[in-house]
Amino acid sequence: MSETEALESMVGGEYKYGFTTDVEYEDFPTGINEDIIREISRRKNEPEWVTEFRLEAFEKWKQMEEPDWPNVEYETPDFDKVQYYSATKKKNKNKPESLDDVDPEIIETYKKLGIPLEEQKQLQGIAVDAVFDSESIFTTFKEKLAEAGVIFCSISEAIQDHPELVKEYLGSVVPKGDNFYAALNSAVFSDGSFVYVPKDTVCPMELSTYFRINNMQSGQFERTLIICEDNSQVSYLEGCTAPMFQENQLHAAVVELVALENAEIKYSTIQNWYSGDEEGQGGIFNFVTKRGHCRGDNSKISWTQVETGSAITWKYPSVIMQGDGSIGEFFSVAVTNNRQQADTGTKMIHVGKNTKSTIISKGISAGKSNNSYRGQVKISPRADGAQNYSVCDSMLIGQTCGAHTFPYIESANPTAKVEHEASTSRVGEDQIFYLQQRGMDEDDAISLIVNGFCKEVLKELPMEFAVEADKLLGIKLEGSVG
Amino acid sequence: MAKLKQSNQSFLQDLLSFQGSLNGKSQFLDEVRLKGAEEVKNIPFPHRKDEDWRFISLRDLYTDDYELATRLDVSVPDISEHYLPESEGSRMVFVNGVYSEEHSQAEALPDEVEIGNIADLASEDHPLLKEHLGKYGNFEDDVFSSFNTAFLDDGAFIHVPKGVKVDAPIHLLFVQTEADVNYFATSRCLVLADESSEVTIVEDYIGLGDNKYFNLPVFEVNLEEEAYVKHTKIQRESKEAIHLARTGAFVAKHANYESYTITRGAKLSRNEPRISQRDEEVEFTVDGLVLIDGDQVSDTHSVMDHRFSHAESHQLHKCVINGKAHSVFNGKIFVRKDAQKIDSFQENRNLLLSRKGLVNTKPQLEIFADDVVCTHGATIGQLEEEEMFYLKSRGLNDQQARELLIYAFALETIENISVESVQKLLVDEVHKFTERQLDSQLTA
């Protein structure tokens, strides 16, 4: 088999998570207007201030235009055809006390996805919040976390049980009218995770959320809020999959992280939404606003992402380093294949003194895809001694894809130091030749080279997921080097 | 607000009323200008919302009235101090945009080289000029280059025929004098380097006073196979001037285009070099040095367009920023589909010396071919404490150490310039700049 063929056959790796689950949904109208927003709020039994929050966001959203600056092309979703709330019918209206109350079909779905919800079957030390379309199905290890004082639940539950915390922090990092899709999310947000780590606490286990879009018409608008009080630490991981549909589905999430003094938040994502077929038919529009705020001195926020799915990705996990000595990190691997388009990167805003940020971004494009890195590093006038180091490397596989780098760097402080470097290259024939000569077959050789290229990022992932990411990369790029 | 927007849209169009005074000398140029004027009317004036113009304001440009420079009647002071010794006998001088025959010389050039004023050659219907003028600018939808075309009159035309190697550097000196009114100039150069020819051009802008004017020069150069053109641009416009320049270069097979741009003057300046490959196997260099202080703003938007396989390109752009100065850099590297085996290097290094200075930099790679090596880097920083310490421990005082380091930083971009007197001149400029920098630091 020629090199090219070997690569192509590799790229064709199938999407394993493309099945649908047959469940009954509650009726909910499509489209967006004030009544629908009130209806979402009513079904979720939300207090008045949340309804107000949604309506204000909706007002702002109506005034806004969809941004056109990302380097992606797609047809704007018809916002009137999206179903903004999608919940399954339940046997009883109360929150599930145990797994027995959860629809067995859904439990089966998660099992198939490799996420058993039964605690005894779980990987040790990881608590999971499972979100199915618009609602959180079940959260494991709640009691154990509660012993340590950590609150881990869905945001809907948090609104009911801890309204004072949610009220204080919701929208404080990503304001209601921050951008087009953040405003839309603020108006219709469904479920997502809420994490609160009190002072002087190291969260005893990894927290994770598994998002699944199942309903063909529905969009997913999850909202995640993580608060880490003084001297605390938490590590959080999200994973996402969706069935294969011909139609595009919209996923517009907002994630807000708040780190107070000496706190440390590590947020990892493995994004594997359905990316559409080879011709670019179907797939998820992934328009996400993720932002962390280092509010306290010496706090640290670290984003790690492995982006392999979605038809269109449009995502810039950012850190605002306000506290003196705070640290922001961004580690990313973005892989695009077939007709996927990704415009992703980060923003590092240095406000406090002696703040430090690191950006390591690896983009791999194959097939007919386009992969862009877009980042901003901004040093404000009072950020004395701020430091940034960025590397963004791209790798092209095949002759029909594109790699783009758009780093914006701004410094208004003479004591700051900013370094940025980027390179574009490919899997070299000589590298493959060398490995083949040592007895590896071509696919293994490519896989090894790609993994080496991404190593700096993959090593940032929590151990269990690093293994998964490794495999994912292999599948994604099977047979794509030429 | 709406009113203001409208007024800057009409700003250039209003100035077109001066155009009539140029007509009647050459039918060819009349037509060219007419086309330029049409474009000016149809292309929107840049706005800060445009991605390419988001970091600088043109307010200083469009809030004033201007007179056409060539209509001014000014006496020209002695400008011989600005002559380059290597270019005795190979020099063209333009004063406020008007070609000055008395200051210009061509006797050191080989006979085959055609050199002359665009307006004069146009009235003779010079065939090469007519064939090539406006072909290498490559600035569609750019209102400023269209404005330049709308006022195209005097300018430099240089044709180096096949196989001719010109030893003496050709000095194109554009002098802007003091005047009672604000004025505008639009100089134009067209350089045609035929097969296997070699030429060195020094494009030199000098403002003699501290007055306000704006200059929108366009420089076009075409390199045929195996041609070698070394192009140095020095910009020392007056402290109040606005200088928005475009350079378009086309590079054919085995040709090599080297360009060095030094920005020292003008209150607001912008350079837009665009280098396009016309065939495989070419080399080009687009280096730059920016030394700015006070309230100067300098912007460089470059495009290195790799359209065919096997190109080697190099860009080293350095900026030293002091006072309230603001430096902007956007370097685009394009590698088109199927343009394989490209080796492209880009680096932007900024030395930010003051609290109020500002740097925006955006290196940019857009790659559509897989077998390429493209790298870019950008740094913003200040003088290294360790380096300072090292020099001080060797007996230099604080001032000397700083001066030496700034000087060394800037020098890297200068040392490749082939004309010795230009190198010396630039070394002096760097020296003057560091001295001024130190003065302002002591008084601050």
The tens place of each residue's pLDDT in chain A, 482 residues long, gives 344 444 444 444 567 777 777 777 777 888 889 999 999 898 888 999 999 999 999 999 999 988 888 888 888 888 888 888 877 776 555 556 667 777 777 777 777 777 766 655 555 566 777 777 767 767 777 788 888 899 988 898 899 999 999 999 999 999 998 999 999 999 999 888 899 999 999 998 888 888 877 777 777 888 999 999 999 999 998 887 777 777 788 889 999 999 999 999 999 988 888 888 888 788 889 999 999 999 999 999 999 998 888 889 999 999 999 999 999 999 999 989 888 999 999 999 999 999 999 999 999 988 889 999 999 999 999 999 999 999 989 988 888 888 999 999 999 999 999 999 988 887 778 888 999 999 998 888 888 888 888 888 888 877 767 777 777 776 666 655 54
Question: Per residue, what are the HEC states of chain B?
Answer: CHHHHHHHHHHHHHHHHHHHHHCCCCHHHHHHHHHHHHHHHHCCCCCCCCHHHCCCCCHHHHCCCCEEHHHCCCCCCCCHHHCCHHHCCCEEEEECCEEEEEEEECCCCCCCCEEEEHHHHHHCCCHHHHHHCCCCCCCCCCHHHHHHHHCCCCCEEEEECCCCECCCCEEEEEEECCCCCCEEECCEEEEEECCCCEEEEEEEEEECCCCCEEECCEEEEEECCCCEEEEEEEEECCCCCEEEEEEEEEECCCCEEEEEEEECCCCEEEEEEEEEECCCCEEEEEEEEEEECCCCEEEEEEEEEECCCCEEEEEEEEEEECCCCEEEEEEEEEECCCCCCEEEEEEEEEEECCCCCEEEEEEEEEECCCCCEEEEEEEEECCCHHHHHHHHHCCCCHHHHHHHHHHHHHHHHHCCCCCHHHHHHHHHHHHHHHHHHHHHHHHC
Chain B (48-77) residues lying within 8 Å, Cβ to Cβ, of chain A: 51
- Is A418–B379 a contact, with Cβ atoms under 8 angstroms apart? yes
| CA-closest candidate to residue A21, choices A102, A85, A94 | A102
- Is B353–A482 a contact, with Cβ atoms under 8 angstroms apart? no
Coil, strand or helix at A73: coil
Q: Which of A69, A406, A410 sits opposite B364 (nearest CB)?
A: A406
Alpha helices (H) in A31-179, listed in sequence order: 34-43, 48-63, 104-112, 142-147, 155-161, 163-169
**How many Å lie between the alpha carbon of B330 and the closest alpha carbon of chain A?**
9
Cα distance between residue A8 and residue A185, in whole Å: 38
Cα distance between residue B89 and residue B349, in whole Å: 38
A430: contact with B, CB 8 A cutoff: no
Q: What is the dihedral of CA A57, A59, A62, A65, to 10 degrees?
A: -50
Q: Which of A381, A422, A426 sits opposite B365 (nearest CB)?
A: A422
As a whole number of Å, the end-to-end CA separation of chain B is 37
Cα distance between residue A397 and residue B339, in whole Å: 15
The predicted structure's pLDDT at residue A12: 46
- Asked if the model's pLDDT at residue B244 lies above 80, the reply is yes
Residue indicated by tokens 């035309």:
B157
In this structure, are residues A144 and A126 in contact, taking their beta carbons and an 8 Å threshold? no
A67: contact with B, CB 8 A cutoff: no
Cα distance between residue A304 and residue B273, in whole Å: 38
pLDDT over 70, % of chain A: 89
Cα distance between residue A91 and residue A101, in whole Å: 8
Q: Which of B340, B362, B381 sits opposite A407 (nearest CB)?
A: B362
Long-range CB contact pairs, A173-176, < 8 A, 24+: A173/A256, A173/A257, A173/A258, A173/A291, A173/A292, A173/A293, A173/A320, A174/A254, A174/A255, A174/A256, A174/A289, A174/A291, A176/A53, A176/A56, A176/A57, A176/A60
Radius of gyration of chain A (CA): 22
With CA atoms as reference, the chain A residue closest to B381 would be A417
Long-range CB contact pairs, A461-467, < 8 A, 24+: A461/A268, A461/A270, A461/A304, A461/A306, A462/A206, A462/A235, A462/A237, A462/A268, A464/A123, A464/A126, A464/A206, A465/A237, A465/A239, A465/A268, A465/A270
A398: contact with B, CB 8 A cutoff: yes
With CA atoms as reference, the chain B residue closest to A364 would be B370
Please tell me the total number of residues recorded for chain A in this structure: 482
Cα distance between residue A243 and residue A222, in whole Å: 18
Token pair, residue A157, equals 């539950």
Which residue would you say has higher pLDDT here, A11 or B139?
Answer: B139
Cα distance between residue A314 and residue A372, in whole Å: 10
Coil, strand or helix at A415: coil
The mean pLDDT of chain B is 91
- Is A408–B364 a contact, with Cβ atoms under 8 angstroms apart? no
- Asked if the model's pLDDT at residue B189 lies above 90, the reply is yes
Q: Which positions in chain B touch A379 (Cβ < 8 Å)?
A: 380
Question: What ranges do the domains of chain A cover?
Answer: 3-476
Q: Which of A402, A419, A425 sits opposite B379 (nearest CB)?
A: A419
- Is B366–A402 a contact, with Cβ atoms under 8 angstroms apart? yes
User: Other CB atoms closer than 10 Å to residue A304's CB: what's the count?
Assistant: 27
- Is A424–B372 a contact, with Cβ atoms under 8 angstroms apart? yes
Token pair, residue A216, equals 């063909």
Sequence-separated (6 or more) residues with CB below 8 Å from residue A459:
A466
| CA-closest candidate to residue A391, choices A456, A328, A436 | A456
Cα distance between residue A242 and residue A437, in whole Å: 40
The predicted structure's pLDDT at residue A92: 54
Q: Residue type at B323?
A: G
Backbone φ, ψ for residue A238 (5° rounding): -120, 145
Residue indicated by tokens 């608590």:
A127
Backbone φ, ψ for residue A72 (5° rounding): -135, 155
Q: What is the dihedral of CA B46, B49, B52, B56, to 10 degrees?
A: 80
- Is B365–A403 a contact, with Cβ atoms under 8 angstroms apart? yes
Cα distance between residue B364 and residue B334, in whole Å: 8
Q: pLDDT grade, residue B1 (50/70/90)?
A: very low
In this structure, are residues A206 and A86 in contact, taking their beta carbons and an 8 Å threshold? no
- Is B372–A419 a contact, with Cβ atoms under 8 angstroms apart? no
Q: Are strands B170-176 and B98-105 parallel, antiparallel or unpaired?
A: unpaired
Could you tell me if the ipTM is greater than 0.90? no
Cα distance between residue B345 and residue B373, in whole Å: 8
| CA-closest candidate to residue B119, choices B93, B151, B146, B143 | B151
With CA atoms as reference, the chain A residue closest to B49 would be A69
With CA atoms as reference, the chain B residue closest to A402 would be B368
Angle at A70 between CA A66 and CA A75, to 5 degrees: 55
**How many Å lie between the alpha carbon of A413 and the closest alpha carbon of chain B?**
6
Cα distance between residue B308 and residue B299, in whole Å: 28
The predicted structure's pLDDT at residue A279: 80
Q: pLDDT grade, residue B369 (50/70/90)?
A: confident
Q: Which positions in chain B touch A407 (Cβ < 8 Å)?
A: 362-364, 378
Q: How far is CA A242 from CA A210, A212, A269, B315, in A?
A: 11, 6, 15, 45
Q: Which positions in chain A touch B378 (Cβ < 8 Å)?
A: 407, 409, 418-421
User: Other CB atoms closer than 10 Å to residue A28's CB: what's the count?
Assistant: 18
Cα distance between residue A100 and residue A96, in whole Å: 8
Residue indicated by tokens 């690191």:
A358
The predicted structure's pLDDT at residue B433: 85
Q: Are strands A370-379 and A402-411 parallel, antiparallel or unpaired?
A: parallel
Q: What average pLDDT score do residues B392-410 get?
A: 90
- Is A405–B338 a contact, with Cβ atoms under 8 angstroms apart? no
Cα distance between residue B100 and residue B172, in whole Å: 11
Q: pTM of the entire structure? A: 0.86
